[in-house]
Structure 1
Amino acid sequence: MEKTDISHVELAEDSDKQSTQDGQVELFKDNRVVLIPAPSADPRDPLNLPPWRKWVLLVLVSAYSCTAVVLASGMGPIFSVVAQDYPGQTAKANDLLTYPTLFMGVGNLITMPWAYTAGRRPVFLASMLLLIGAGIWCQCSHSLGSHIAGRNIMSLAAGQSEALSPMIVQEIHFLHERGRKIAWFVFIQNIAACVFFVTSTYMVSAWGWRWWYGFFSIMNALIFFLSVIFVTESQFVRPEEAVQGQSVLDPKVVDAMENITLSAHGTVLDIDRYGPRRWRDDLKPMVLKPRLCDVPIFYKHILQGFCIPTIFWLLLLNGAFLGVYVFQSSTFSSILMPPPYNFAFTSLGYVQAGQLVSCVIFLPLLGYGGDLTIRAFSRRNKGLYKPEYRLPMMAIPAITGVIGGLIYGQAAANPEKWNVSAVVVTYNASFFAFLGANIVGITYAVDSFPQRAAPFLVVICAGRGLISFGLSYATLPAVSSLGYDGTMVVEAVICGALALIAIPIYFFGPRTRSLATRFLIDKDES
């Protein structure tokens, strides 16, 4: 290829120093978007993947997350049929529903350090294999104990869908597009999951619950085969300057190149130095050499995350909104099936179909809307971006979740006074609120501490899984002592209070991040 004009590619020059202490990076320069992180000249850099490869990777990661969520958390609609095969063991059979959330959190704590030290691809593929094997185990189990054990192992594999999957998505995209790409990930995952929630009752009625597992094992085998080909390694070591958006490519080197090749984003690729990207490189099961000494360091970083006020707040925020959704998902069937609503068992899946509407609203509003918001705020700040610009979008799901939770509690306590929509609509509104807390938490944590993205995502995702496990056991006692209305008032107040903390964090977040960087991160790396 002949020399090409690359003036349209905007990377912050080394002379334009970014402020690392307050978290600001230059997102706009000369009215053009700066690519953050700055992609390298290596064709193997995941940021240099062509758009179609990124979309295929995103869809496959979302498909894995979908089947993981359905298998680990989607047994609710079919549980009554499963429990019939274990007469006299109904109480113990509840472990099929409650323990998966605990083991999903534990799965993150066990496997994410290996994703950190050995790379994302081998852990992702190993999780897929474990998910397939555990699915076959559950399908062929001959006792309740074996079934519970199989689901626990399955949940260990499914847990990576909460931290590893969004981390892969954000690592192959630039800062200015992360919001909508994470939104697409959530959208695909939950749209497909909603379809399976609705159809699960019909699948079980036609095939039995064992082939419910069999269907997803076959589907996961297909996803695994495609993932071996297309899910490339997304971990890539970058210098601090590149993380801040500063180009590390010497202009003199570019001028000396006889043939210039550009990536899909218009960045220069040094084929002479690194060689072209080849399929046989992408097909390697492991690209990086494992560094076992980094495993304890990863756990140290997790503990540091609990010490940073903003990360700990994100954990509580996600846990609170997840708690409301868990409470409602555990109780909506017992409210809708008796009089006055008289829902049939096969109709319960359609209640969760309302999550399709939540996802359709969620994608443009919080995904694309979030990216447009940070662009608008950055332009007003002379082109400088701060992670806190993600926080204003939290207002919409927070208000929706709090109001919806209060109405749900009142309708559940007095069903004869409320239309059925007061339960169905508010239940799906709580799902929308959790999605909002989830995407704000993920993007804000990654943007605030890009070099600590993996361990801090584990803090949020594994922590909320443990919170969910505790809440699943506390649901019935809470209803017995406080009633539906009292329980929802308490949880709505907690959610509202945690959401309001976003206001002081918007103003004091940069200072908090600066202190955390100075006393934890920089000190740790020195």
Structure 2
Amino acid sequence: MGGDSKSQVEMVEALSDKSRNVATTNYGTIDLFQDGSIVLIPSPSSDPKDPLNLPTWHKYMIIFLVGIYSAIAVLGTSGLGAVMPSVLKTYPNDDPARVTDLVTYPTLFMGIGNLISMPLTLTIGRRPIFLFSLLLLIITGFWCAFSTNLSSHIAGRNIFSMAAGQSEALAPFIVEEIHFLHERSSKLSWFIGIQTVGTAVLFVMTAYVVPPFGLKWWYLIITFLIIVTLILSFFFVVETMYERNLDEGDVASADSKPMAGKRRSLRPDIYGQRSLRHDLKVFHHKPVWSRVTAFYLDTAKGFFIPTIFWIFLFNGAFLGVYIYQASTFAVILTQPPYSFAFDLLGWVQIFQIAVVMVLIPLLGYGTDRFSSWMSKRRGGVFKPEFRLLSLIIPTVATVLGCVIYGQTGAHPTQYHWMGIAAPFHMCYLGFLTANLIGITYAVDAFPQKAGALLMVICVGRGFVSFGLSYSTVPVIKATGYDGAMNILAGIVGGLMVCGIPIYFLGPRIRRWSVKTLWPGLA
């Protein structure tokens, strides 16, 4: 091919150590603007089968389906907290502390599920693991529905939670892979928004189903929803793992960098058309099992990156707060002086839709716009740390929410029931924000090691939150609601203060991390 033909093949981001793309050689700090226009990062290829070249409607369909999967996963693992009084009545002869294992253990096993599945997604692909997770949810959903004792129920939920764990890492990873850097926060916020709205609606269903009909029908409804999701996902959630290794001669010049808003030419004559047969194929990649070992090694290295270590602690603290409140708010509101009926508890959850109305425009699109604005101020240079500034307001709100929730729980006669409901949603917004920003930062800062670092964040926070939430009942007995919430508020506040040096030292930390942990990428 001549030079003119080669110029039509757009620059693609190389994933091999040899290919030295801009995001790697500058350690996550990149030139986002060129001549006033946004540069597409990663650069899409001219291959119609490149996930970055999927039509917009298909991308939103993928966001919708992985969002619905995540909504069901979140409900299945944490939904019983809203009807815990009813669950306790289901097992009158068992220790209440052991019954709460139905709520606390799922967090731990979601982390274990990630630990097993994420390396496989880099070896055999995202699509087979996602579809298998849905299938495993169906099997364990029926198991839980027809369990005959608490031990069997706990075992079934634990395996159910392992299958649900992909909602934490794989699902957002899929969303990130089909979008460009400048739109990641907004598209990820749509994913989280769909997950949140779906979970809120299903929580209302939970409040109307569990007390009168029991846990069996609750699990059956969830399982049938998963079956529908599996069928749709088989047709629409295509493989998003894409090898971008190119020889140096196939890389376009700097002047031909693809820009946002400009039409890009595809080359089906070179790569072939995207077909239905291609999309429905489950396995697209020959397994490279050495990647599993490399993945675990990269994950271990991730714990030595101060910024990533801080993000996973931060996420763990927020998740611990959310699980604590999700497992206690029903108990508080159903007791005097509030005396809520069971069916009203689900409507408390429905206000999470209002949280989404804040999350998507302000923290989704807002974070992307703010990061772009900061980049323009710095001469078009983008730094992943710009996104961390969006954590300030939600973190302050979470600290205040913890204090208010604790005081209301300890002294219910002195406070309105909104002292429980409002802080619950304030802290939930904080958790969603920490999740959104943490995932996006990891992908932006270390694009070639994104999967391993998402593992660090998701598995790490799962273990941290498990430790915090597992102590819920003992801590309440020892310190009361106010004491427990004050401890969590102090942890979140302390981690927020630690974020100040993280922001300013982030670029140096990224540079040191790549040179020290992955010298082949430097």
Residue 99 (str. 1) matches residue 105 (str. 2): yes
1:84 Cα offset (Å): 3.5
- Give the counterpart letter for 2:67 in structure 1: S
1:287 Cα offset (Å): 0.6
Tell me, in whole angstroms, the C-alpha distance in 2 between the residues paired with 1:330 and 1:213: 19
| Residue 331 (structure 2) aligns with | 334
- Give the counterpart letter for 1:61 in structure 2: V
| Residue 16 (structure 2) aligns with | none
Residue 368 (str. 1) matches residue 365 (str. 2): yes
1:159 Cα offset (Å): 0.5
Residue 178 (str. 1) matches residue 184 (str. 2): yes
Residue from 52, 56, 60 that aligns with 2:65:
60
Tell me, in whole angstroms, the C-alpha distance in 1 between the residues paired with 2:401 and 2:42: 39
Residue 123 (str. 1) matches residue 129 (str. 2): yes
- Give the counterpart letter for 2:251 in structure 1: V
For 1:383-422, list aligned pairs within 5 A: 383-422=380-419
Q: What CA deviation, in whole Å up to 9, does each residue of 1:37-77 have, x standing for no partner?
A: 00011111100001011011110111111111111111122
| Residue 309 (structure 1) aligns with | 306
- Residues 65 and 161 of structure 1 are in contact (CA less than 8 Å); yes or no, is this contact kept in structure 2? yes
1:123 Cα offset (Å): 0.3
| Residue 146 (structure 2) aligns with | 140
- Residues 336 and 343 of structure 1 are in contact (CA less than 8 Å); yes or no, is this contact kept in structure 2? yes
With over 3 angstroms needed to count, the CA separation of the structure-2 counterparts of 1:483 and 1:241, relative to structure 1, is farther
- Residues 321 and 427 of structure 2 are in contact (CA less than 8 Å); yes or no, is this contact kept in structure 1? yes
With over 3 angstroms needed to count, the CA separation of the structure-2 counterparts of 1:409 and 1:43, relative to structure 1, is same
1:368 Cα offset (Å): 0.7
Residue 269 (str. 1) matches residue 272 (str. 2): no
- Residues 181 and 367 of structure 1 are in contact (CA less than 8 Å); yes or no, is this contact kept in structure 2? yes
1:16 Cα offset (Å): 11
- Residues 21 and 517 of structure 1 are in contact (CA less than 8 Å); yes or no, is this contact kept in structure 2? no
| Residue 429 (structure 1) aligns with | 426
Structure 2 regions of 5+ residues with no counterpart? 14-18
Tell me, in whole angstroms, the C-alpha distance in 1 between the residues paired with 2:432 and 2:366: 14
**Secondary structure at the counterpart of residue 235 of structure 1:** coil
| Residue 157 (structure 1) aligns with | 163
Tell me, in whole angstroms, the C-alpha distance in 2 between the residues paired with 1:112 and 1:18: 23
- Residues 51 and 177 of structure 2 are in contact (CA less than 8 Å); yes or no, is this contact kept in structure 1? yes
**Secondary structure at the counterpart of residue 74 of structure 1:** helix
1:206 Cα offset (Å): 5.3
1:503 Cα offset (Å): 2.1
Structure 1-normalised TM-score? Answer: 0.91
1:483 Cα offset (Å): 2.3
Tell me, in whole angstroms, the C-alpha distance in 1 between the residues paired with 2:479 and 2:148: 40
Q: What CA deviation, in whole Å up to 9, does each residue of 1:83-106 have, x standing for no partner?
A: 444341243333222221111110
| Residue 456 (structure 2) aligns with | 459
Tell me, in whole angstroms, the C-alpha distance in 1 between the residues paired with 2:468 and 2:20: 52
Tell me, in whole angstroms, the C-alpha distance in 2 between the residues paired with 1:350 and 1:502: 35
With over 3 angstroms needed to count, the CA separation of the structure-2 counterparts of 1:393 and 1:231, relative to structure 1, is same
- Residues 323 and 469 of structure 2 are in contact (CA less than 8 Å); yes or no, is this contact kept in structure 1? yes
Tell me, in whole angstroms, the C-alpha distance in 1 between the residues paired with 2:63 and 2:137: 19
With over 3 angstroms needed to count, the CA separation of the structure-2 counterparts of 1:414 and 1:444, relative to structure 1, is same
1:251 Cα offset (Å): 10
Q: What CA deviation, in whole Å up to 9, does each residue of 1:359-390 have, x standing for no partner?
A: 11111110010011011001111111110110
Tell me, in whole angstroms, the C-alpha distance in 1 between the residues paired with 2:70 and 2:44: 27
Structure 1 regions of 5+ residues with no counterpart? 255-261
CA RMSD of the aligned region, Å? Answer: 2.8
| Residue 487 (structure 1) aligns with | 484
Residue from 41, 50, 54 that aligns with 1:45:
50
Residue 350 (str. 1) matches residue 347 (str. 2): yes
Tell me, in whole angstroms, the C-alpha distance in 2 between the residues paired with 1:410 and 1:469: 23
Tell me, in whole angstroms, the C-alpha distance in 2 between the residues paired with 1:497 and 1:339: 34
- Which range is displaced more, 401-410 or 181-190? 401-410
Residue from 497, 501, 513 that aligns with 2:498:
501
- Give the counterpart letter for 2:233 in structure 1: S
- Residues 40 and 248 of structure 1 are in contact (CA less than 8 Å); yes or no, is this contact kept in structure 2? no
- Give the counterpart letter for 1:377 in structure 2: M
Tell me, in whole angstroms, the C-alpha distance in 1 between the residues paired with 2:497 and 2:246: 33
Tell me, in whole angstroms, the C-alpha distance in 2 between the residues paired with 1:248 and 1:206: 63
With over 3 angstroms needed to count, the CA separation of the structure-2 counterparts of 1:124 and 1:516, relative to structure 1, is same
Q: What CA deviation, in whole Å up to 9, does each residue of 1:419-467 have, x standing for no partner?
A: 2212211111111111111111111111000111111111111111112
1:343 Cα offset (Å): 1.7
| Residue 259 (structure 1) aligns with | none
1:417 Cα offset (Å): 1.9
Q: What CA deviation, in whole Å up to 9, does each residue of 1:163-189 have, x standing for no partner?
A: 000000000000000000000000000
Tell me, in whole angstroms, the C-alpha distance in 1 between the residues paired with 2:400 and 2:42: 39
1:20 Cα offset (Å): 2.7
Tell me, in whole angstroms, the C-alpha distance in 1 between the residues paired with 2:254 and 2:385: 33
| Residue 248 (structure 1) aligns with | 251
| Residue 440 (structure 2) aligns with | 443
Q: What CA deviation, in whole Å up to 9, does each residue of 1:307-362 have, x standing for no partner?
A: 10000000010011112222222222232222222222222222222212111111
Tell me, in whole angstroms, the C-alpha distance in 1 between the residues paired with 2:216 and 2:466: 25
**Secondary structure at the counterpart of residue 159 of structure 1:** helix
Residue from 224, 231, 247 that aligns with 2:230:
224
Structure 2-normalised TM-score? Answer: 0.91
With over 3 angstroms needed to count, the CA separation of the structure-2 counterparts of 1:19 and 1:144, relative to structure 1, is closer
- Give the counterpart letter for 2:345 in structure 1: L
Residue 209 (str. 1) matches residue 215 (str. 2): yes
Tell me, in whole angstroms, the C-alpha distance in 2 between the residues paired with 1:17 and 1:442: 20
With over 3 angstroms needed to count, the CA separation of the structure-2 counterparts of 1:375 and 1:320, relative to structure 1, is same
1:10 Cα offset (Å): 10
Residue from 83, 86, 94 that aligns with 1:89:
94
- Give the counterpart letter for 1:78 in structure 2: V
Residue 32 (str. 1) matches residue 37 (str. 2): yes
- Give the counterpart letter for 1:188 in structure 2: I
- Residues 336 and 342 of structure 1 are in contact (CA less than 8 Å); yes or no, is this contact kept in structure 2? yes
